[in-house]
Amino acid sequence: MLGLNNRNLKHMTIPNFVALYKSMVRSHLDYCWSPYRKGYIEALEKVQKRTTKMIPALKNLPYKDRLKAYNMSTLHYRRVRGDMREIYKILSGKYDTNVVPNLKTTGIQATRGNDLRIFKTRFKYDLRKFYFTNK
């Protein structure tokens, strides 16, 4: 998708390019995969870094400055922010309790924190260690 955008739409404005990137490329990067290894995260970020270099006027800027110019954030930040939003919605009861995953809370009010602290279970193998409910 990225190559298709690059070949066919060389001379476009920044807002048009960002809208096209968000609809055609980033949707593929976000879809149904949450990497947990540093190498996987860097591989996905590399796609976005390469994409932000496609506009010739901003090609020589550092990655963080290009993101600011495009008004975008890193993919890792988006993933973490999305997870935090989902956790908030689950714990505050915005979703149907029959559908959402079961998050175990400590349920005790201690001197520090609150009663909605999430209990993180331990796993021996990596099979369930990186699931949404345990992240």
Shared domain check, 115 and 53: no
Taking all residues of the chain, what is their mean pLDDT, rounded to a whole number? 79
Shared domain check, 45 and 11: yes
pLDDT at 32: 62
pLDDT at 110: 61
| Position 39 in a domain | yes
| Position 94 in a domain | no
Give the helix, strand, coil percentages of the chain, each rounded to 5.
50, 0, 50
| Position 116 in a domain | yes
Shared domain check, 34 and 72: yes
Residue pair 118/86 in contact by the 8 Å Cβ criterion: no
Shared domain check, 107 and 71: no
Q: Is the pTM of this model over 0.85?
A: no
| Position 134 in a domain | yes
Shared domain check, 118 and 65: no
Shared domain check, 63 and 23: yes
Shared domain check, 66 and 21: yes
Shared domain check, 107 and 64: no
| Position 91 in a domain | no
What is the rounded distance in angstroms from the CA atom of residue 110 to the CA atom of residue 117?
10
Shared domain check, 59 and 20: yes
**Domain coverage including residue 76:** 2-80
Q: State the total domains in the chain.
A: 2
What is the rounded distance in angstroms from the CA atom of residue 91 to the CA atom of residue 65?
36
What is the rounded distance in angstroms from the CA atom of residue 124 to the CA atom of residue 126?
7
pLDDT tens string for the chain (135 positions)?
Answer: 777 766 666 677 888 888 888 888 888 887 766 777 888 888 888 988 888 888 878 889 999 999 998 888 888 888 889 888 888 888 788 887 777 777 766 666 666 666 667 777 777 777 777 777 666
pLDDT at 108: 63
